[in-house]
Amino acid sequence: MSQYRELKVPGAWEFTPKQFGDDRGVFLEWFREPGFSEITGRTLDLQQANCSVSAAGVLRGIHFADVPPGQAKYVTCVKGAILDIAVDLRVGSPTFGQWDSVLLDDVDRRAIFLSEGLGHAFLSLEDNSTVVYLCSTGYAPEREHEVHPLDPDIAIDWPTVGRSGEPLNITLSAKDTAAPSLQDAVSAGLLPTFGEG
């Protein structure tokens, strides 16, 4: 059974699996039902599985989807290391604009679960960091949005040094570079409302 903790952002959870190792390697259950539903109080309706490979310094996010239906995610890093971030983007939430982080890597093999309405971002801490995630809905570009990951109002404390000890040069996609600030997203009515979905 995994160890777990709810993050400072309600609806986000960290899971640390029990690993079984011997001279052949390691075995673990990175996702397990019914344990997941007992902890979170919900099921994960799997509709899509994604894999992302990133160079050191690549920052992806803050991404979210329209609610309803939203998109819940269960994320792990199978190779390398990332700092994974959950941001509360639900207007009216008591923790609106707050964030929390989980180090996902190929040592502790943790996973993070993010409920619908939460923003998701991660920073790759070494070359070829490989992230896989299970999604409750499929990709629909017309429902997908972003908030700028370097917005000073959110003030995520991004690492400046990678797993190797070398400085990280942050790299954003053109889409994430052009993303609105949190306040601009509020003004534009882009964000989900607390209690929706």
The answer to the question of residue 196 being in a domain is: no
User: Which amino acid belongs to residue 36?
Assistant: F
Instruction: Give catalytic status of residue 133 as yes or no.
Output: yes
Residue with tokens 């972003």: 146
> Which listed residue (63, 120, 145, 148) is catalytic?
63
* Residues 6+ positions from 195 with CB-CB distance below 8 Å: 90, 92
Instruction: Give catalytic status of residue 120 as yes or no.
Output: no
pLDDT tens digits, 36-62: 999 999 999 999 999 999 999 999 999
Instruction: Residue 110: count other Cβ atoms within 10 Å of its Cβ.
Output: 21
The answer to the question of residue 153 being in a domain is: yes
The answer to the question of residue 141 being in a domain is: yes
The answer to whether 63 touches 180, Cβ cutoff 8 Å, is: no
> Which listed residue (4, 74, 120, 133) is catalytic?
133
User: What's the whole-model pTM score?
Assistant: 0.95
CATH number for the domain spanning 11: value is 2.60.120.10
Print the domain residue range for 16: 1-186
The answer to the question of residue 33 being in a domain is: yes
The predicted structure's pLDDT at residue 197:
60
The answer to the question of residue 191 being in a domain is: no
The answer to the question of residue 171 being in a domain is: yes
Q: Which residues of the chain have pLDDT under 50?
A: none
User: Which amino acid belongs to residue 5?
Assistant: R
